[in-house]
Amino acid sequence: MKRAAIRPIVDGLRHRFRVSVAEVDHQDQWQRAAIGVAVVAESDGHLREILDFGGAIRRHAADVEVLDVHTDWLEGDA
């Protein structure tokens, strides 16, 4: 059951946005998961498009409840 709920989210992020995605915590609990996403983007706009995918998860994955979203930004010297 858990894998069936998590797999479409992880695969959707990987294939649509070409980002690194992994289940990073709660592997031993069937009712909970933490998904980590690492992104390097050429523009702020592309990065925001990827982050907006989190909202799509809430709208389209009725069997998944998003409890928290945490974002860290690292900016390089340009």
Domain coordinates in residue numbering, the chain: 2-60
Residue type (1 letter), 30: W
User: Does 30 score more than 70 pLDDT?
Assistant: yes
pTM score: 0.67
User: Does 65 score more than 80 pLDDT?
Assistant: no
User: How confident is the model over 39-63, as pLDDT tens digits?
Assistant: 887 888 878 877 776 666 666 666 7
> How far apart (Å, rounded) are the C-alpha atoms in residues 62 and 65?
8
What integer is the mean pLDDT of 64-77? 76
- Report which secondary-structure segment, H or E, holds 15: helix 2-17
What integer is the mean pLDDT of 30-34? 81
Average pLDDT value over all residues in the chain: 77
